[in-house]
Amino acid sequence: MTSPAPETIPVEPKSPARSRTESLNISSSVGNLRFINDELRSHVTKLRNQLEAEKGNLKQAHRQKVLDIKNVREQEQKKALATIIELKKKFHEEKIKEIESLRETISQKLELEKNKCLKVKDTEMTKLRQELDVKEKMLNKLLSQTNQKTNNDPINVKLLDELSELRSTKRQLEESLSQATVIEKHHSENLKKLCSSYESELVRVRREAHMEIRHMVSKNFS
């Protein structure tokens, strides 16, 4: 038994006018696509240019910011350096005044003590000299009055002993005066050494002040 043959659908042939219309539609679509593609490319190019421009602006802004920060830092460093120099000067002046005042006070005190001691010693020496001179004159006078008597005369012997004792006392007084002069000289030397030590202290303070300032400067600019 044979199967029936398939039914064929007749194809209507295209007319020339319809074919042209379809061709025009396809051409129009292709043209639209190309136009849209060109527009997109143009827009993308414009966006790329804008992006590059923004990158350039950002780089310029960054450079300007770095430059501004550098300028601000330099200004702050200059201000800090000026402040440090002023503090150094003030510190140096205060220390010098303090040391000079201390040295002057001690020098005056030592000078007053020295003058006081010398004045007391000088007064005592002058008084003793006067007393010894008076006694020596009296003894010499008595000896001249008794020079006719023998040397074994008790009064004459006593006067001679007193005169010898008086001369010994006078010699001791002169030695004490000499010792006082040596002590005064030694005191003056000690005063000079003390002044010299204060000069050394002043130099030390100046050196430490300079070291401290250099440390502050290096710390501030590091």
44 phi and psi angles, rounded to 5 deg: -65, -40
Mean pLDDT score of the chain: 74
Instruction: Tell me, rounded to whole angstroms, the distance of Cα 132 from its chain centroid.
Output: 65
Determine the pLDDT at residue 221: 56
| Strand spans (E) along 40-160 | none
pLDDT at 1: 44
pLDDT tens digits, 62-95: 899 889 888 888 888 888 888 878 887 887 788 7
pLDDT in tens, 10-26: 445 555 555 556 665 66
| Minimum mean pLDDT range among 91-95, 153-157, 164-168, 181-185 | 153-157
pLDDT of residue 80: 80
d(CA 208, CA 202): 10
Give me the mean pLDDT over the 150-168 stretch: 67
